[in-house]
Amino acid sequence: MIKVLIVDDSAFMRNTLSSMISTDPEIHVVGVARDGAEAVEKVALLKPDIVTLDVEMPKMNGIEALKQIMAKTPVPVIMVSSMTTEGAKITLDALDLGAVDFIPKNLSDLSLNIVKIKDHLIEKIKRIGKRGLPLFKRIPSPKLLRMPETSHSASHRRINIVAIGSSTGGPRALQNILTKLPKDFPVPILIAQHMPPNFTRPFAERLNQISAVEVKEAEHGEVIGKGVVYIAPGRGHMSIVRKRITESVISISENRGDYIYRPSVDALMLSIVECFSGHVLGVILTGLGNDGLIGMKEIKNSGGRTIAESESTCVVYGMPKVVVESGIADKVVPVDEVAGEIINSV
């Protein structure tokens, strides 16, 4: 049984979350708390396997409670955040402080929104609760890596673009990687991180502030440039289209198509293979499900290179696991080594 503590100042939210996740026989709600101070006490007393923690609460808010929980009795924490831009910024603060993931709630249509996320939340609780906290440390001040001074041998196929896919635990992993890349990184990087629409722009802006490389939320129709990192907007799927021999542009489509997750890692990677066949580096990071498996296979089959995050640092070993078990990962490394592998590949 996975023991869950639910923390929210709303009685409706406490009851709804409790009823919803208790439908799974492997989950047991061991308690609820109405504010951050009570949450800190109950985490120490009840020793849950995982906590859902609201952001806005009286007496002590979710951020302050999270700081104390991670300092005194570390446990996996999923933040419950509003879908506003301000809510996104606070949630990103929480991920920096050690929260493993978040669930967004639409305050304008709360009851419907909660029902929609039921299955996804239960899966997250089960996978993260069983796994516990991954073996990573709080992200230190970034230490920039340098590009190799010598070029690769002629036998090494040139990489002209990097495609990265991530989901649960991805924001932290991406921060670890991008803050290590040097300003003179020579090729574009395109990222599909499963994230709600209002979250991707603040996420890109935050990464841009702390990284040497330029990081931005991708825009429809813009030409991709060397050394720029493009975060797929949460409102749809990102792909690239070749316009000229030396020019490719970004396309953003809000048509869901056959893809379950948004933005889709597979949709991004498949389009990149079409434009840069044989010259793509694919990277798959922590996350639920199997998004990216088809894309990584095509990258590998076209003659590109593939990297998967190892289980030891994944918040959820799902997306990398299916890639590794399919035998298509050229390298399997902890997240702290991914940036170095990317640099050595280009």
Residues carrying an active site annotation:
167, 194, 291
Running DSSP on this structure, what letter comes out for residue 222?
P
CB count within 10 Å of CB 47 equals 12
C-alpha distances out from residue 157 to 57, 154, 273, Å = 54, 7, 14
CA–CA dist 140, 130 (Å, integer): 27
* H/E segment holding residue 103: strand 101-105
Q: Is 278 left (phi over 0), alpha (psi -120 to 50) or beta?
A: left
C-alpha distances out from residue 26 to 125, 174, 314, 315, Å = 10, 31, 22, 19
CA 6 from centroid of its chain's CA atoms: 23
